[in-house]
Structure 1
C-alpha cells in the first residue's frame, strides 16, 4: 500500500532527537529552529517528559472518559496556575483543529447563532468549521464551504461591528499573532475593541492559541499582552511536546451539560502525563523568561542582515521578512547548514519557531549560516 501523497517532503529521515537537535539515519545533526510546526516546546526527548510518559504507560495508558481521571484534574489545576486564567473550565481533545471545532460548536450551542467571523490570512485547522474559518480556499472542500463565515481585515473594527449587529454570528475566532498567515498582529486597541463588540452583540470571542500558547510568545498566551478575556481559548501544539493533545479553556459564563461535547481519546492518561511534564519544565526551567531573553537577542542580531524588510512576531514565534521568496534559502539552510526553518503564506517570510530551550549559541550559529547564504 502506498501513502496518500499530500506532503512535499525533504529527503531527510530523522531517527532520534535531543533538545534543539535532530539526527538522521546517517547521524547528521540538524539544528531545529522550527520545532515541527511549533510543537516542540521543552526540547526533544526532555528527560522529565520521557520519564513521565514511560512511567504512565507502564501503569495505564488509556481508559475512556466514562471514569474518573485525576490526571485531567491535575492538568487543569496546573494550567490555571501557570496561565493565570482563573476559573476557566478545561475540555481536552487531541489536536488544534479539534480544539477549534469544539470551540465553534460550543459557541453556537451557547448563543444559538450559526455564522462565524474570522480574519484574512487566518489558519484554524483543516476540518469542518475550522477549515471554513481558515482563509485558504485551496483547502476548503465544498462540504466545508457550507459553513457561513465572514472574513474581515485584521484591525478593521468597523466591518466587525457591521457584521455582528446582524445578530447572526455565534463566534469571532482570532489568532492574536497569525501563524501560517505570516505573523501579523494588530494593536491592543483593536483587540480590546473586539472584546467590547463581542460582549455588546452577545458573540463568543475565541482566542486561537494553538500555535502561540504555552509560552511561545513570552507570555503564557499571546492575548495576554492586550489585557483581554476571551470566552474560549483553544490550545494544542506546544501543549504535549509532540504527544497529541489539544483542548479549550472555557469561561465560567458558559455552562456545561452532559453530552454537550465528547471525545474518545481526548484527555487520556498518557496525554495528560505528557502535558503535565511540559508545564512543570516550563515553570522550573523558566522557559517563558528564556523566550523573552532569546527573542531580544535574536532581534538585535537580525538587524544586521542584508535584504531584510522587517522582523515579525514576538517571543520565539518570529519571522524574518525578506525582499525575495525564501523557498530556495530554506533549502540551502537545511541541506548545506543542516538547519530546519519554516515557511508561511507570505512567500518572503522565514518562520522561526524553535524549542523554548534554545540558547544564544544556537542563534549565533543560525545567523552565521544565514549571512553566508545572503551574501552569496
Structure 2
C-alpha cells in the first residue's frame, strides 16, 4: 500500500532530536528554527517531558471520558494559574482543527445562529467549519463551502459591524497574530473594538491561539497584549510539545450540558501529562522570558541585513519579509546550512518558529547562513 501523496517532502529523514537540533539517518545535525509548525515548545526530547510520558504509560495510557481522570483537573488548574485566564472551563480534544471545530459548534449552540466571520489570510484548520473559516479556497471542498462565512480585512471594524448587525453571525474567529497567513496583526484599538462589537451583537469571540499560545509570543496568549477577554480560546500545537492534544477554554457565560461536546481520545492520560510537563518546563526554565529576550536579539540582528524589508510577529513567532519569494532561499538554508525554517501564504515571508529554548548562538548561526546566501 502506498501513502496518499498530499505532502511535498524534503529528502530528509529525521531519526532523533534533542532540544533545538534534529538528526537524520546519517547523523547530520539540523538546527530546528521551525519546531514542526510551532509544535515543539520546550525542545525536542526534553528529559522532564520524556519522564512524564514514560512514567504515565507504565500505569495507564488511556481510558474513555466516561470515568474520572484527575489529570484533566490538574491540567485545568495549572492552565488557570499560568495563563491568568480565571474562571474559564476546559474542554480537551486532539488538535487545533478539532479545537476550532468545537469552538464554532459551541458558539452556534450558544447563540442559535449559524454564520461565521473570519479574516483575510486566516488559517484555522482543515476540517468542516474550521476550513471554511480559513481564507484559502484551494483547500475548501464543496461540502465545506456549505458553511456560511464572511471574510473581512484585518482591522476593518466598520465592515465587521455591518455584518454583525444582521444578527446571523454566531462567532468571530481570529488569530491575533496570523500564522500561516504571514504574521500579520492589527492594533490594540482594533482588537478591543472587535471585542466590544461581539458583546453588542451577541456574537461569540473566538481567539485562535493554536499557534501563538503557550508562551510563544512572550505572553501566555497573544491576545493578552490587547487586554481583551475572548469567549472561547482554542489551543493545541505547543501545548503538547509533539504529543497530540488540543482544547478550548470556555468563558463561564457559556453553559455546559451533557452531550453538548464529546471526544474519544481528547484529554487522555498521556496527553494530560505531556501538557503538564510543558507547563512545568515553561515555568522552571523561564521560557516566556527567554522568548521575549531572544526575540529582541533576533530583531537587532535582522536590522543588519538590508534585504529584509519587514520584521513581523512577536516573541518567537516571527516572520522575515523580503521583496522576493523565499522558496529557493529556504531550500538553501535546509540543504546547504542544515537549518529548518518555514514558509507562509505570503510567498515573501520566511517564518521562524523555534523551540522556546533557543539561544543567541543559534540565532547567530542562522544569520551567518542568511548573510552568506544573500550576499
Match of 1:44 in 2: 44
The reply to whether residue 336 of structure 1 matches residue 354 of structure 2 is no
Contact 1:306 1:374 in 2 (8 A): no
The CA distance in 2 between the partners of 1:374 and 1:323, in whole Å, is 12
Secondary structure of the residue aligned to 1:26 is coil
Q: Where in structure 1 are there 5+ consecutive unaligned residues?
A: none
Instruction: Tell me how far 1:307 sits from its aligned partner.
Output: 1.2
Number of positions where the alignment pairs a residue of Structure 1 with one of Structure 2: 375
Match of 1:85 in 2: 85
The reply to whether residue 190 of structure 1 matches residue 218 of structure 2 is no
The reply to whether residue 273 of structure 1 matches residue 276 of structure 2 is no
The CA distance in 2 between the partners of 1:274 and 1:318, in whole Å, is 25
Instruction: Tell me how far 1:165 sits from its aligned partner.
Output: 0.4
RMSD: 0.3
The CA distance in 2 between the partners of 1:131 and 1:205, in whole Å, is 18
Match of 1:301 in 2: 301
Contact 1:116 1:171 in 2 (8 A): yes
Secondary structure of the residue aligned to 2:337 is coil
Provide Cα deviations, 1:54-113, integer angstroms capped at 9, x if missing partner. 000000000000000000000000000000000000000000000000000000000100
Secondary structure of the residue aligned to 1:308 is coil
The CA distance in 2 between the partners of 1:316 and 1:275, in whole Å, is 19
The reply to whether residue 214 of structure 1 matches residue 185 of structure 2 is no
Q: Where in structure 2 are there 5+ consecutive unaligned residues?
A: none
Instruction: Tell me how far 1:140 sits from its aligned partner.
Output: 0.0
Instruction: Tell me how far 1:323 sits from its aligned partner.
Output: 1.0
Instruction: Tell me how far 1:219 sits from its aligned partner.
Output: 0.3
The CA distance in 2 between the partners of 1:370 and 1:88, in whole Å, is 43
Secondary structure of the residue aligned to 1:141 is coil
Instruction: Tell me how far 1:118 sits from its aligned partner.
Output: 0.2
Secondary structure of the residue aligned to 1:104 is helix
Secondary structure of the residue aligned to 1:295 is helix
Poorly superposed stretches of 4+, deviation over 4 Å: none
Match of 1:113 in 2: 113
Contact 1:120 1:153 in 2 (8 A): yes
The CA distance in 1 between the partners of 2:213 and 2:318, in whole Å, is 14
Match of 1:205 in 2: 205
Instruction: Tell me how far 1:288 sits from its aligned partner.
Output: 0.3
The CA distance in 1 between the partners of 2:166 and 2:215, in whole Å, is 36
Provide Cα deviations, 1:170-210, integer angstroms capped at 9, x if missing partner. 00000000000000000000000000000000000000000
Match of 2:3 in 1: 3
Provide Cα deviations, 1:14-47, integer angstroms capped at 9, x if missing partner. 0000000000000000000000000000000000
Contact 1:39 1:240 in 2 (8 A): yes
Match of 1:162 in 2: 162
Secondary structure of the residue aligned to 1:146 is coil
The reply to whether residue 55 of structure 1 matches residue 63 of structure 2 is no
Match of 1:363 in 2: 363
Instruction: Tell me how far 1:306 sits from its aligned partner.
Output: 2.6
The CA distance in 1 between the partners of 2:190 and 2:201, in whole Å, is 16
Which residues of 2 match residues 238-317 of structure 1 at below 5 A?
238-317=238-317
The CA distance in 2 between the partners of 1:281 and 1:252, in whole Å, is 29
The CA distance in 1 between the partners of 2:262 and 2:132, in whole Å, is 21
